[in-house]
């Protein structure tokens, strides 16, 4: 589904901090770990089992009365498609990266729909679940396009990388592990199909949208065109949460808290914090750019944007408690 962009954002539902979750709009951003087996396996059966397990806590939240929207990572799934591109390049033309994003949004969305509907039915809380294949607007002049740096897909021998580079792709060596493709990761500007997601949410659906950060598109000569890039899922999630009028954004990951000084003797969990404190810690280098950094920046932006909003970074198992402000790293103004 899609809708024209440009409509006014839905106003946030006020968060009262107590009582049931009836009517609360919550956006849950699921990390890639929720979509694969513990060993990282992305085989179909492993993905389906992982999604099934992830939907239990989500179903509990819906059953508690929350109006839930979901977004998700798609790194393993896009990685699989890129390998197919590599192996079959001499037989069928490789598909562009925006196509890979669209395909994996739909695939993961269907897995979530099936699993969540089963979990909701088991709780006597049946709701329709819908997926919106979503585009994310980026700037065609974003500096990331001039210097691609986001690694995607698996490691390959140099000879394979050189063949891919002859087709116009950009690859970089990563030591003994081999070569890896790198692409632009431009700043997300707008979730173009957020209005469709909002309409479904208003109608009582659980909505899956902006998977993998959304399909990246840019305006070229006045029209929208797909671009060879990936959009950070968490940065896109905070944009979507704001457009949907969410009062809470929870980034569900595989750790209990964001950590200040991670990997050092002075490491400490961040239990309750503010956008200002997160900005100071980020500037001091406390959050790795490829892992916790985008999550911290996403929750910081969401809460700093104003309104009575709360965000959390928490483990999937503590999802409900995180929404209530009782678990994980809680961010409030």
Q: What percentage of the chain's residues is helix, strand, coil (to nearest 5)?
A: 40, 20, 40
Q: Which residue in 31, 33, 73, 213 is the catalytic one?
A: 33
C-beta atoms surrounding 43 within 10 Å: 12
Residues 6+ apart with CB under 8 A from 289: none
* Residue 150 is a catalytic residue: yes
**Rounded-to-integer distance, Cα 112 and Cα 309, Å:** 26
Please tell me the distance from the alpha carbon of residue 105 to that of residue 216, in angstroms, as a whole number.
12
Residues 6+ apart with CB under 8 A from 285: none
Rounded Cα distance between 243 and 230, Å, is 21
Pick the closest to residue 186 from 162, 208, 153, 219 (CA basis): 219
Tokens at residue 302, please?
């969401």
Q: Which of 109, 295, 320, 328 is catalytic?
A: 295
Q: How far apart are CA 260 and CA 219, in angstroms?
A: 39
CB 101 within 8 A of CB 230: yes
Which phi and psi angles does 218 have, rounded to 5°?
A: -135, 155
Q: Are 191 and 243 in contact (CB under 8 A)?
A: yes
Residues contacting residue 210 through CB under 8 Å, at least 6 positions apart: 71, 134, 136, 191, 194, 197, 233, 236, 237, 239, 240
127, 120 Cβ separation under 8 angstroms: yes
Active site residue 33: yes
84 is catalytic: no
- Across 286-325, b (16+ Cβ under 10 Å) vs e yields bbeeeebbbbbbbbbbbbbeebebbbbbbbbbbbbebbbb
Spot the catalytic one: 114, 150, 307, 325: 150
By CB atoms closer than 10 A (0-12, 13-18, 19+), residue 183 is buried
Q: From the candidates 233, 245, 320, 328, which is the catalytic residue?
A: 233
The catalytic residue positions are 32-33, 150, 233, 295
């Amino acid at each position: 589904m899609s809708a024209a962009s440009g409509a006014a954002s839905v106003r946030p539902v006020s968060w009262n901090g107590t009582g049931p979750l009836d009517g609360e709009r919550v956006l849950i951003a699921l990390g890639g770990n929720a979509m694969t087996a513990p060993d990282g396996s992305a085989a179909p059966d492993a993905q389906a089992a992982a999604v099934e397990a992830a939907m239990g806590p989500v179903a509990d939240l819906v059953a508690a009365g929350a109006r839930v929207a979901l977004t998700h990572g798609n790194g393993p799934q896009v990685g699989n498609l890129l390998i197919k591109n590599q192996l079959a390049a001499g037989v069928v033309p490789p598909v562009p990266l925006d196509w890979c994003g669209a395909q994996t949004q739909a695939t993961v969305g269907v897995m979530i729909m099936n699993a969540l509907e089963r979990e909701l039915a088991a709780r006597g809380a049946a709701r329709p679940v819908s997926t919106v294949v979503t585009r994310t607007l980026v700037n065609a002049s974003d500096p990331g396009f001039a210097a691609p740096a986001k690694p995607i897909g698996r490691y390959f021998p140099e000879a394979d990388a050189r063949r891919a580079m002859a087709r116009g792709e950009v690859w970089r060596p990563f030591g003994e592990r081999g070569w890896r493709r790198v692409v632009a990761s431009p700043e997300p500007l707008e979730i173009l199909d957020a209005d469709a997601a909002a309409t479904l949410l208003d109608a009582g659906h659980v909505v899956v949208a902006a998977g993998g950060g959304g399909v990246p598109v840019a305006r070229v000569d006045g029209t929208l065109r797909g671009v060879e890039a990936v959009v950070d899922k968490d940065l896109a999630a905070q944009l979507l949460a704001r457009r949907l009028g969410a009062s809470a954004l929870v980034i569900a990951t595989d750790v209990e808290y964001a950590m200040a000084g991670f990997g050092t003797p002075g490491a400490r969990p961040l239990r309750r914090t503010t956008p200002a404190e997160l900005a100071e810690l980020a500037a001091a280098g406390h959050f790795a750019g490829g892992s916790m950094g985008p999550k911290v920046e996403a929750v910081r932006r969401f809460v700093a944007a104003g309104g009575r909003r709360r965000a959390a970074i928490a483990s999937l198992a503590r999802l409900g408690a995180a929404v209530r402000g009782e678990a994980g790293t809680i961010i409030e103004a």
